[in-house]
């Protein structure tokens, strides 16, 4: 049974006057493709500081989900991790949670002995 991870930006808060993003709500959902399906989610909120006069500033209207997810992955780094390694660590953790659900389900059953 394959387990796939999907990253999403679920919502953002920005300043109307200059298009600066101040909050990003994100999630990573690991989900099995079998029946029944199992899932594990990690989600969070990233507080952003920005400088609208900076040469690398991207206003809200020009952002893409992949750019914002790059900000999220960068914010999740621990120690000397790269943003890619942080992303992979979260995915491995969520995938492990789903695999644990699958493993438990294969060794457990519901029911009553007198039915």
pTM: 0.88
For the stretch 77-109, pLDDT in tens is 999 999 999 999 999 999 999 999 999 988 888
pLDDT value, residue 1: 75
Encode 72-91: b = buried (16+ Cβ within 10 Å), e = exposed.
Answer: bbeebeeeeeebeebbeebb
**CA pair distance 46, 76, nearest whole angstrom:** 9
Within 8 A by CB and 6+ apart from 24, the residues are 9, 11, 12, 45, 46, 48, 68, 71, 72
Q: Evaluate if residue 3 carries a pLDDT over 80.
A: yes
**CA pair distance 99, 31, nearest whole angstrom:** 10
pLDDT value, residue 106: 85
Structure tokens at 1: 């049974």
List phi, psi (to 5°) of 66. Answer: -65, -35
Higher per-residue confidence, 1 vs 38: 38
For the stretch 29-74, pLDDT in tens is 999 998 889 999 999 999 999 999 999 999 999 999 999 999 999 9
């Amino acid at each position: 049974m394959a387990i796939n991870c999907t990253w999403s930006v679920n919502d953002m808060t920005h300043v109307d006057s200059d298009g600066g993003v101040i909050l990003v709500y994100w999630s990573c959902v690991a989900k099995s493709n079998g029946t029944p399906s199992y899932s594990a989610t990690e989600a969070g909120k990233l507080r952003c500081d920005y400088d609208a006069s900076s040469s690398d500033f991207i206003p809200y209207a020009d952002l893409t989900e992949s750019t914002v997810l790059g900000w999220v992955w960068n914010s999740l780094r621990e120690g000397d991790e790269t943003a890619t390694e942080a992303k992979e660590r979260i995915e491995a953790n969520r995938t492990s949670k789903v695999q644990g659900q699958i493993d438990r389900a294969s060794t457990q059953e519901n029911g009553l002995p007198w039915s």
